[in-house]
C-alpha cells in the first residue's frame, strides 16, 4: 500500500500575494511623496531668495544665507560670544521644550480627569462645560498678565499658561468621547457585575482613546504656539524669548531662525505623537 503523498509547496512566500505586490507600490508612493516635499522646500527657498533680493532690506526680509549664518553663529561660541544671550540655539530650544513638556503634561492630565467627569456625571457637565468653553476661547495673553500678578515672573506663570492652554482641548475631546461610549457595551459590562470604575477603565476609556489622542495632539500644538506668549516676560533662555528679544533689536534673521526652529521641532513632536497613536491605537482608521 502506497503512502499518501505529502504536498509541499515549492516556495513559501513572506505573505499573501496581494500584500507582496502592494509593497513595491507603497514604497514608490512614499518615494514620490518625499520627492514632492523636497521639491516644495527647494521652491520655497528659491521664492524666499527672490523676495529678499527684490526687497533689498535685510531688516524686512533676510536672505536664506543670512539666516544660515545666524544658525551657525548661534550654535557655536564666536569671538567670545556664546550663542544668543549666553545660550546656544539648541539650549534655547531645549528650555522651551521642557516648559512645553511640563505644562502640556499638567494640562493633559487635568483635561483627562475633567473630561471623564464631564462625560460621566450629567449635572457636572451642565455646570462646568460653559466654564471650559470660556477658558478655551481666551487667548493666552489675555490671562498671562494675571498669572504674572499672582505668581511673579519666574517659571511658575509660564507653566500655568501652557497648562491652561492645553487643558480645554483634551477635556472637550475626552468628554465627548466618554459621553458617546456605546451604551450596549456599558450595559453589558454592568450586567456582568463590573463596577462603575471598571466600566470606565475597561470599556469607556479604550473606546475613547482615538478622540483623546486627537485632543492631546491639539493640546500640545496649542501649548507650543503659546510658548512665545509665555516667554515674553523673562523668557531668555527660551526660543520664544529669543525671538521676542531679537524683534526688539530688529534682528530679523534671528527672528526667522527662531520661527523655523519652532516650526521644525513642532513637526517632529507631532510626528512622534502620530507614531505613538499608531502604535497604541492600531485600529484607528480601520473599519
Q: Is residue 11 part of a domain?
A: no
Taking the C-alpha atoms of residue 109 and residue 166, their distance in angstroms, rounded to an integer, is 10
End-to-end CA distance of the chain: 52
CATH number, residue 91:
1.10.3720.10
Cα–Cα distance, 218 to 211 (Å, whole number): 11
**Residue 200 pLDDT:** 77
Read off the pLDDT of each residue in 56-81 and give the average, rounded to a whole number: 88
The residue segments making up the domain with residue 124 are 81-280
Grid coordinates representing 127?
455646570
- Residues 42, 112: one domain? no
Q: What pLDDT score does 31 carry?
A: 79
Confidence band (pLDDT; 50, 70, 90) for 15? low
* C-alpha cell belonging to residue 23: 509593497
Q: What percent of the chain has pLDDT over 90?
A: 30
| pLDDT (tens digit per residue) in 90-145 | 999 999 999 999 999 999 999 999 999 998 888 988 888 888 889 888 888 788 88
Q: Are residues 172 and 259 in the same domain?
A: yes
Q: Are residues 33 and 129 in the same domain?
A: no
Determine, yes or no, domain membership for 224. Answer: yes
* pLDDT on residue 102: 94
Same domain, 166 and 52: no
Residue 10: inside a domain, yes or no?
no
Q: Does residue 286 carry a pLDDT above 80? A: no
State the Cα–Cα distance between residues 87 and 254, nearest whole angstrom: 14
Q: What is the DSSP letter of 231?
A: T
Residues 52 and 114 in one domain: no
Q: Which residues sit opposite 78 in a β-bridge?
A: 81
108 and 248 both lie in a single domain: yes
**Residue 61 domain flag:** no
pLDDT of 21 above 60: no
Identify whether residues 49 and 130 lie together within a single domain.
no
Question: Has residue 74 been placed in a domain?
Answer: no
Whether 130 and 271 share a structural domain: yes
Please report where in the chains the cell 460621566 appears, as a residue: 120
Considering the domain boundaries, does residue 4 fall inside one? no
147 with 274, same domain: the answer is: yes
pLDDT digits (tens, 9 = 90+) for 188-203: 877 777 777 777 777 7
Q: Say if residue 118 is in the same domain as residue 250.
A: yes
Question: What are the angstrom distances between the C-alpha of 36 and each of 32, 42, 54, 175?
Answer: 6, 10, 27, 39
What share of residues in the chain are helix, strand, coil (percent, to 5)? Answer: 75, 0, 20
- For 172, the grid coordinates are 472637550
Q: Which of 101, 107, 100 is nearest to 171 (CA)?
A: 107
Please report whether residue 64 resides in a domain: no
Instruction: At 110, list the grid cell.
Output: 487635568
Q: Select from 122, 50, 85 the least CA-distant residue to 237.
A: 85
Q: What span, in angstroms and rounded, lies between the C-alpha atoms of 45 and 61?
A: 13
Instruction: Answer yes or no: do 196 and 271 share one domain.
Output: yes
Q: What confidence score (pLDDT) does residue 287 get?
A: 44
pLDDT band at 5 (very low <50, low <70, confident <90, very high): low
Q: Are residues 147 and 112 in the same domain?
A: yes
Tell whether 73 is covered by a domain.
Answer: no
What's the confidence (pLDDT) of residue 110? 94
pLDDT band at 279 (very low <50, low <70, confident <90, very high): confident
Tens of pLDDT, residue by residue over 210-252, are 888 889 999 998 888 888 888 888 878 889 889 989 988 889 9
In this structure, how many other beta carbons lie within 10 angstroms of the beta carbon of residue 276?
13
Number of structural domains, the chain? 2
Nearest C-alpha neighbor of 212 from the set 127, 109, 63: 109
More confident residue, 2 or 146: 146
CA distance 251 to 67: 10
Amino acid at each position: 500500500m502506497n503512502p499518501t503523498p505529502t504536498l509541499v509547496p515549492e516556495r513559501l512566500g513572506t505573505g499573501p500575494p496581494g500584500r507582496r505586490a502592494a509593497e513595491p507600490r507603497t514604497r514608490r508612493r512614499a518615494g514620490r511623496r518625499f520627492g514632492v516635499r523636497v521639491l516644495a522646500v527647494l521652491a520655497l527657498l528659491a521664492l524666499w531668495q527672490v523676495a529678499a533680493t527684490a526687497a533689498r532690506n535685510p531688516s524686512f526680509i533676510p536672505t536664506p544665507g543670512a539666516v544660515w549664518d545666524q544658525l551657525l553663529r548661534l550654535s557655536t561660541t564666536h569671538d567670545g560670544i556664546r550663542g544668543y544671550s549666553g545660550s546656544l540655539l539648541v539650549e534655547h530650544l531645549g528650555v522651551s521644550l521642557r516648559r512645553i513638556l511640563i505644562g502640556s503634561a499638567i494640562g493633559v492630565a487635568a483635561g483627562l480627569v475633567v473630561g471623564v467627569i464631564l462625560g460621566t456625571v450629567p449635572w457636572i457637565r451642565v455646570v462646568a462645560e460653559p466654564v471650559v468653553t470660556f477658558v478655551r476661547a481666551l487667548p493666552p495673553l489675555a490671562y498671562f498678565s494675571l498669572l504674572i500678578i499672582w505668581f511673579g515672573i519666574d517659571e511658575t506663570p509660564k507653566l500655568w499658561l501652557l497648562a491652561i492652554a492645553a487643558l480645554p482641548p483634551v477635556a472637550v475631546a475626552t468628554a465627548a468621547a466618554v459621553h458617546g461610549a456605546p451604551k450596549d457595551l456599558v450595559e453589558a459590562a454592568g450586567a456582568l457585575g463590573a463596577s462603575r470604575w471598571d466600566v470606565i477603565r475597561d470599556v469607556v476609556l479604550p473606546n475613547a482613546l482615538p478622540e483623546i489622542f486627537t485632543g492631546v495632539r491639539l493640546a500640545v500644538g496649542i501649548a507650543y504656539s503659546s510658548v512665545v506668549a509665555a516667554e515674553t516676560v523673562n523668557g531668555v533662555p527660551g526660543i520664544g524669548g529669543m525671538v521676542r528679544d531679537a524683534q526688539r533689536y530688529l534682528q530679523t534673521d534671528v527672528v526667522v531662525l527662531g520661527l523655523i526652529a519652532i516650526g521644525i521641532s513642532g513637526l517632529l513632536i507631532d510626528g512622534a505623537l502620530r507614531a505613538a497613536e499608531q502604535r497604541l491605537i492600531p485600529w484607528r482608521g480601520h473599519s
